[in-house]
């Protein structure tokens, strides 16, 4: 049976140094670590098992089981009891496209991954700004709570989900994912994502729509939560450099309160010789509420390939929160209950694929 | 070393729809899910590692490490901290038979698996009726508590266990398993299982005896619990159809109270052409206490093989509880503290072996 | 990608019988178990994935992911949420030596493993005496708290660590490991280990120094803890028998209190024919505080190899605590709050490598 299974993975570790400041409250704001996380290393460490069976007539079945690993401790990246926190799904593929059932990436995360020159990694990961719901919803006076990403935590990877991918339709392809909330008599906890892709030579354009009823976050029995997001992104490879851009908007409703924000990403990636690559990006969250808050993140990265499978990297990023915005790098959004006005992360590491 | 290890597994996902009703209390009783569980999918999803070493002279050593996986979330099927919740054992094999130490299936679960046309899976899994101890013991007035299966939760797979299997002795073979309670000065928490098998052409007959001192369930220090079960089952393959039958009885004692029940299973499985199989079964629990309760489960299943390794399936089952019986399908036994009089599960799914 | 990954492991299970006595308090002091633990079986059960990539120019990259397994239950040996509790690291190797980042063995554990004839396993594992911090620090009157090992729990395997190993420098080699505490503005939680090795024919000599700021144990925010240990050990293979010896000392400070102790190990291992090996060892902890306590452990072991990969074993050990010492075998140090004066463990088991 062994021939049916391919084992693969990534081991990624970095040194990093985080510092945050918020006016007079600076104690404990600087920390140096040996770190492994899917958020700000070049890649999330993982061990995967996958296989594909030819069923004849153009049909095939496949499966994927992928562990997320914190290499610095050996623990599961996705938390308690998660064996295969990155992926666990089975599917059928054919001329009709493919259908997969289980836990899997959403088209929303894939769009962000396609557009972000950092690959939703490194110090300046777009995930710091574009992903996440730190709290349920705006609470007046709490610094930073309103500003959350347009991709909710349950819309990165989706549990209990069915996903359909079209075959390549000329230059177009599309995907639909629906994650069941599994709550009797309610759509609470569910999330639906639609994605469209267009590729022509050096141009890639992608679009996604998310309809999130609190997947992975909101207690379905007590809160009626709904967040709708739209995003469009594009990359164009000029040869000496590739340009990256994305704009997104979200509108969230809960308990009679509405939260609106826009999001932006601009980036550039450029090869320097055959084994080095330079990356730069700007990410912005711009609240559209009465107490409009915003945040900007500026990131730089440099990759040096020792081989196709092994790469050294270094990166640096800074987040500037304005108003009550409370975005943070690498999970460090605040200290002693007060958000950092400025957060900076520098890291250098190694990523090894197998 | 890799040649010594075989990697294998099953990925199984289904859509299912459960509904339960109990008189006037029907709210929240219907739910639709994308599901992966060892109970009511065709097979429990798993990833395993095993190997065998020839030691010469007819002797060999082997090991087995098998993860149980909830494919819908990537979590461990067997719960927190369980890496290899389905099996973790090492053993020696020879002319004398085999001895294995660790966590492993009991002969009781294997008998049920051999007899049940559903393979202790699908909506109408025999496990819904024949397996389980939902609560410690009968408590007067609590609906359904007395009726539990004849295979306790610690007698499905046994921790801390040594198992001996005879070689084939003509048409007979036998197994003995003992799981240590590991409590000083007491047998509490232990379970012993004896199994006998007879095979002759189209006929299979199996018998098991269980002596369960609360393995996996009862707090050993405070409660003196003992449950004894006997079961005999048989299958006969007529060619166009195979008949399946089992009868079991249990007597449990705890704190001066006695709980008795009988259990029945009748089933039929029939191939339809080369790649389709139809399954039907009836499972019954019949209490023999003064407040005698009972439950009946009717199940149907249909399997369609895309290949030897990949099968599509659909199944449906209904449980009818009488008196205070509280059996349920797929873990849904009650709602808001009241047991369902009627429980129905319909599912359709895919199982892929590798 | 599969060719890049080697799968390996050990499956080890034993029967064991523990008994402890402490004057009049002997109830519940004897227990028989089927056991799998890295402490007192011959080897810790594990499943590992590793690989190495040749980068050219004498440089290579490698990774290691190693699960620790309790074979008796299938659970993680290293506890909740630990997928790869034994090792999770990535590194570069070259003429300069090697650098690895992640979770990995320290040179301190390796020295003990090199010196102990039991290999830090079996009933008489040196780990019972030489490893561990049962409590934060001496508390007057609590039996046994002062006497802890010279290798703290965070100095066996180190999280968040960088390790450098020299290449072989003639007969010498050396290692430095530093585990970051990752506490802002403090060294709390960190541990540093230096190791030196010397090999010449039948002689091996090793030395380690540990500077432990409470790695894995002390709450960094509230306690200023520091423990320094030095150990030197040697083995000499006379042919018919190999001699093993180690002496270590530690000094720990916390909250104005100082705790000092010396540690000793003497052992012998001898082949008997081609497939049998006999082992014996004495381990001693000798407190140097005013209320000086001490403990002696005497251990015997016998290994019988069925093949290079499969070995049967039996072992027995006894710990004698004097004064308030509270060392225990296999995690059994006390009963109902009172330490055992005498602890005895007997076991017999099988270990199978793959």
Q: Do C185 and A27 touch (CB under 8 A)?
A: yes
Q: What is the pLDDT of residues C211-237, one digit of tens each?
A: 998 776 655 445 678 889 999 999 999
With CB atoms and an 8 Å threshold, state whether C180 touches A34. Answer: yes
Confidence at A113, pLDDT banded by 50, 70, 90: very high
pLDDT for A24: 56
B74 part of contact set with chain A, CB < 8 Å: yes
pLDDT of residue B243: 98
Contact (CB, 8 A) for B113 and B120: yes
**CB atoms B350 and A78 under 8 Å:** no
Test C34 with B160 for CB contact under 8 angstroms. yes
Phi, psi torsion values for C134, nearest 5 degrees: -70, -30
Q: Closest approach of chain A CAs to the CA of C173, in angstroms?
A: 25
The predicted structure's pLDDT at residue C276: 98
Cβ–Cβ contact B306 with C under 8 A: no
- For the ranges A20-34, B150-164, C27-41, the lowest mean pLDDT is seen at A20-34
CB-based contact A343:A20 (threshold 8 Å): yes
Q: How confident is the model at residue C338 (pLDDT cuts 50, 70, 90)?
A: low
| Residues contacting C305, CB < 8 A, separation 6+ | C275, C276, C277, C311, C312
Q: What residues of B are in contact with residue C353 (Cβ under 8 Å)?
A: 1
From A189-193, A243-247, B323-327, C10-14, the region with the lowest mean pLDDT: B323-327
pLDDT at residue A221 in the model: 47
Please indicate whether residue A113 or residue A28 has the higher confidence score (pLDDT). Answer: A113
Residue of B nearest to A154 (CA): B73
Q: Tens digit of pLDDT for each residue in A76-94?
A: 998 878 999 999 999 999 9
Query: Can you tell me the distance from the alpha carbon of A22 to that of C333, in angstroms, rounded to the nearest whole number?
Result: 49
Q: Which of C9, C18, C32, C74 to mutate to test the interface with B (most CBs of B within 10 A)?
A: C74
Q: What percent of chain A has pLDDT over 70?
A: 88
Flag the least confident range among A102-111, A284-293, A333-342. Answer: A333-342
Candidate from A261-275, B148-162, C178-192 with smallest mean pLDDT? C178-192
Phi-psi region at B96: left, alpha or beta (left = phi > 0; alpha = psi -120 to 50):
alpha
Residues of B in contact with A182 (CB under 8 A): 31-34
**Positive or negative, the Cα torsion across B73, B78, B80, B85?**
negative
With CA atoms as reference, the chain B residue closest to C349 would be B101
Q: Return the structure tokens found at A264.
A: 């932006």
Chains linked to C by 3 or more Cβ pairs within 8 Å = A, B
Query: How far away is chain A from the Cα of B50, in angstroms, using its nearest Cα?
Result: 10
| Cβ–Cβ < 8 Å for C181, C189 | yes
Catalogue all structural domains in chain B, each as residue range(s) with its CATH number: 2-353 (2.40.160.10)
Q: Please, what is the average pLDDT of chain C?
A: 88
Rounded CA separation A313/A72 (Å): 17
Residues 6+ apart with CB under 8 A from C217: C133, C136, C152, C153, C154, C225
Looking at residue C28, its pLDDT comes to: 52
Q: Which of A42, A66, A67, A71 is most worth mutating to test chain C (most C CB atoms within 10 A of its CB)?
A: A71
**3-state secondary structure string, C52-89?**
EEEEECCEEEEEEEEEEEECCCCEECCCCCECCCCEEE
Output the pLDDT for position B135. 45
CA distances B254 to A348, B225, B227, C308, Å, are: 62, 5, 9, 50
Min CA distance, A119 vs chain C (Å)?
A: 21
In degrees and rounded to multiples of 5, residue C115 shows phi and psi of -90, -45
C51 contacts C74 by C-beta, under 8 angstroms: no
The pLDDT score that the predictor gives to residue A296 is: 95
Instruction: Give the pLDDT band (50/70/90) at residue C75.
Output: very high
Binning pLDDT at 50, 70 and 90, where does residue C139 land? very low
Tell me the mean pLDDT in the region C177-196: 88
- pLDDT under 50 in chain B at which residues? 1-2, 27, 134-147, 220-221
Task: Find the CB nearest B71 among A61, A62, A88.
Answer: A88
Query: Considering CB atoms only, which of A53, A102, A162 is closest to B36?
Result: A102
For C258-283, b/e burial (b = at least 16 CB within 10 A) is ebebebbbebbbbeeeeeebebbbbb
Mean pLDDT computed over A312-341 = 80
Which residue's structure tokens are 């400025």?
A: A342
Task: Kindly give the pairing relationship between strand A75-76 and strand B310-322.
Answer: unpaired
Which residue of C12, C310, C354 is in closest CB contact with B1?
C354
Average pLDDT, integer, range A275-303: 91
Using CB atoms within 10 Å of the CB of residue B240, give its burial: 0 to 12 exposed, 13 to 18 middle, 19+ buried: exposed
- Smallest CA-to-CA distance from C71 within B154, B102, B163, B82 is with B102
Q: Are B83 and C83 within 8 A, CB to CB?
A: yes
Q: Is A82 on the interface with B (CB under 8 A)?
A: yes
pLDDT at A37: 85
Helix or strand (DSSP H, E) at A319: strand A310-322
Distance from CA of A329 to the nearest CA of C (A): 16
Q: Can you give the pLDDT at residue B1?
A: 36
Is the pLDDT assigned to residue A289 strictly greater than 60?
A: yes
Using alpha carbons only, what angle is made at residue B289 by residues B283 and B294, rounded to the nearest 5 degrees?
A: 25
Asked whether residue A220 carries a pLDDT value surpassing 60, the answer given is: no
pLDDT band at A1 (very low <50, low <70, confident <90, very high): very low
Only one residue has tokens 């924000």, namely A261
- Four-CA torsion C36, C40, C45, C48, nearest 10 degrees: 150
Interface probe with B: pick from A82, A85, A90, most Cβ of B within 10 Å: A90
Average pLDDT of span C309-337: 83
Q: Is the pLDDT of residue C63 over 80?
A: yes
As a whole number, the mean pLDDT across chain A is 88
Among B20-29, C173-182, C246-255, where is mean pLDDT lowest? B20-29
pLDDT class of A143 with cuts at 50, 70, 90: very low
- Who's near A337: CB < 8 A, 6+ residues apart? none
Inter-chain touch B354–A90, beta carbons under 8 Å: no
pLDDT band at A228 (very low <50, low <70, confident <90, very high): very high
Q: What is the pLDDT of residue C333?
A: 65
More confident residue, B51 or C294: B51
For C149, the token pair is 């090992």
Q: What pLDDT band is residue C31 in, cutting at 50, 70 and 90?
A: confident
């Amino acid at each position: 049976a062994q021939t049916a299974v391919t084992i693969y993975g990534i081991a990624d570790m970095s040194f990093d140094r985080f510092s945050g400041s918020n006016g007079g409250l600076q104690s404990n704001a600087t920390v140096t670590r040996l770190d492994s996380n899917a958020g700000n290393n070049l890649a999330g460490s993982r061990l995967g098992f996958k296989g594909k069976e030819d069923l004849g007539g153009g049909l095939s079945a496949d499966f994927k089981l992928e562990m997320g690993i914190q290499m610095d401790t050996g623990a599961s990246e996705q938390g308690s009891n998660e064996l295969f926190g990155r992926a666990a799904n089975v599917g059928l593929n054919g001329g009709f496209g493919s259908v997969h059932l289980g836990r899997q990436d959403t088209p929303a995360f894939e769009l962000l991954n396609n557009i972000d020159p950092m690959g939703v990694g490194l110090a300046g990961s777009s995930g710091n700004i574009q992903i996440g719901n730190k709290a349920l919803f705006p609470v007046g006076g709490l610094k930073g709570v309103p500003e959350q990403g347009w991709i909710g935590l349950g819309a990165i990877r989706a549990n209990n989900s069915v996903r359909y991918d079209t075959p390549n339709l000329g230059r177009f392809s599309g995907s639909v994912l629906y994650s069941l909330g599994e709550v009797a008599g309610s759509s609470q906890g569910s999330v639906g994502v639609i994605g469209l892709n267009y590729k022509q030579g050096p141009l890639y354009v992608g679009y996604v729509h998310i309809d999130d009823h609190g997947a992975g976050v909101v207690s379905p029995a007590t809160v009626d939560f709904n967040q709708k997001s739209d995003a469009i992104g594009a990359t164009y490879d000029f040869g000496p450099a590739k340009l990256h851009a994305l704009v997104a908007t979200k509108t969230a409703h809960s308990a009679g309160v509405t939260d609106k924000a826009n999001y932006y990403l601009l980036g550039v990636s450029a090869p320097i010789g055959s084994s080095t690559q330079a990356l730069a990006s700007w990410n912005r969250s711009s609240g559209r509420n009465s107490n409009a808050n915003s945040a900007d993140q500026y990131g730089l990265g440099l990759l040096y390939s020792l081989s196709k499978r092994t790469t050294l990297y270094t990166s640096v990023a800074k987040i500037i929160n304005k108003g009550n915005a409370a975005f943070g790098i690498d999970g460090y959004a605040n200290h002693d209950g007060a958000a950092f006005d400025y957060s900076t992360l520098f890291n250098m590491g190694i990523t090894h694929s197998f």
